């Protein structure tokens, strides 16, 4: 089954959202840390996983000031990433390695995101209802690593809520309206206000429509080509999605259930428009 326009929208919005936020808010740190071995049965048998105290990392070279690693130190000897035997998983801030002992001393420098960004098919309500499990996971900084594939807070959850075609011009041109929502879960009012403020200013932005294959990470969370710059790839695309409207809001203290009193919750609703012919 070949990718459809909806797939392009999801890819384009996710790449733009991450770049826009990291560029405007500088929401990342630079860390040097140790990677600790743990078992991951989902990996091929010849690979071992070495986790860190963080989850998602910055891999976009167009983010000024972020550190994009090219390798790590294994027993004090530098080894470069190669996507075959030594892999940096940006989605889980971990090393995936073949031919390395589980007792190896692996250290490296990288830039964790201060706010992780996820795409979800869940509704806003389900994201919030499932937050208790994520709250439990968010205390993992007291440990040496996060377990495989778990998510952590603070985080932004993005979902496409609907897509509608409206007749626009003779000849079959439509205006395609996509409604996209971001649910924000943080433990600080400052973080929530920062995110809402950044994206309030995204009104009237133009988002390049990227091909589905433009997703820079492979199945292991590593850069497919070893290098990625959003500012470079967006130059290759001439069609754009227009940010027609942006509305942001917060969940008040009175509305939040007692379970969530330790969190600050916000919402950003995007109305995205593009003029196109149906294929």
How far, in Å, CA of 154 to CA of 148, rounded?
A: 18
Q: Per-residue pLDDT tens for 106-140?
A: 999 999 999 999 998 877 777 777 765 555 544 44
Average pLDDT over residues 67-84: 95
For residue 260, the model assigns a pLDDT of 61
Per the structure, the complete domain to which residue 130 belongs is given by: 5-277
How far, in Å, CA of 65 to CA of 180, rounded?
A: 29
The domain total for the chain is 1
Q: Per-residue pLDDT tens for 176-218?
A: 899 999 999 998 899 999 999 999 999 999 999 998 888 999 9
For residue 138, the model assigns a pLDDT of 46
**Can you give the three-state secondary structure of the chain, one letter per residue?**
CCCCHHHHHHHHHHHHHHHHHHHHHCCECCEEEEEEEECCCCCCCCEEEEECCCCCECCCCCCCCCCCCCEEEECCEEEECCCCCEEEECCCCEEEEECCCCCCCEEEEECEECCEEEECCCCHHHHHHCHHHHHHHHHHHHCCCCCCCCCCCCEEEEEEEEEEEEEEECCCEEEEEEEEEEEEEECCHHHHHHHHHHHHCCCCCEEECCCHHHCCECCCCCECCCCCCHHHHHHHCCCEEEEEEEEEEECCCCCCCHHHCCCEEEEEEEEEEEEEECC
For residue 141, the model assigns a pLDDT of 43
- The confidence band for 256, taking pLDDT boundaries of 50, 70 and 90, is low
């Amino acid at each position: 089954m070949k990718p459809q326009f909806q797939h392009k929208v999801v890819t384009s919005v996710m790449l733009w959202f991450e770049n826009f936020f990291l560029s405007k808010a500088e929401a990342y740190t630079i860390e040097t840390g140790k990677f600790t071995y743990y078992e991951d049965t989902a990996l091929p048998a010849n690979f071992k996983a070495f986790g860190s105290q963080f989850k998602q990392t910055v891999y976009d070279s167009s983010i000024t000031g972020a550190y994009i690693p090219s390798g790590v130190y294994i027993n004090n000897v530098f080894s470069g990433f190669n996507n075959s035997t030594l892999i940096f998983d940006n989605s889980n801030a971990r090393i995936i390695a073949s031919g390395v002992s589980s007792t190896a001393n692996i250290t490296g420098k990288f830039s964790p995101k201060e706010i992780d960004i996820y795409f979800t098919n869940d509704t806003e309500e389900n994201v919030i209802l499932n937050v208790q499990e994520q709250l439990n996971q968010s205390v993992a900084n007291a440990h040496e690593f996060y377990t495989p594939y778990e998510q952590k807070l603070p985080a932004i959850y993005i979902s496409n809520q609907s897509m509608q075609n409206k007749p626009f011009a003779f000849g079959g041109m439509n205006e395609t309206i996509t409604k996209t929502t971001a649910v924000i879960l943080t433990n600080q009012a400052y973080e929530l206000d920062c995110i809402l403020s950044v994206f309030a200013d995204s009104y009237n932005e133009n988002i390049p429509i990227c091909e589905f294959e433009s997703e820079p990470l492979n199945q292991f969370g590593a850069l497919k080509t070893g290098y990625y710059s959003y500012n470079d790839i967006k130059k290759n695309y001439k069609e754009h999605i227009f940010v027609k409207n942006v509305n942001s809001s917060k969940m008040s203290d009175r509305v939040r259930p007692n379970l969530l009193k330790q969190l600050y919750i916000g919402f950003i609703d995007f109305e995205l428009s593009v003029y196109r012919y149906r294929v």
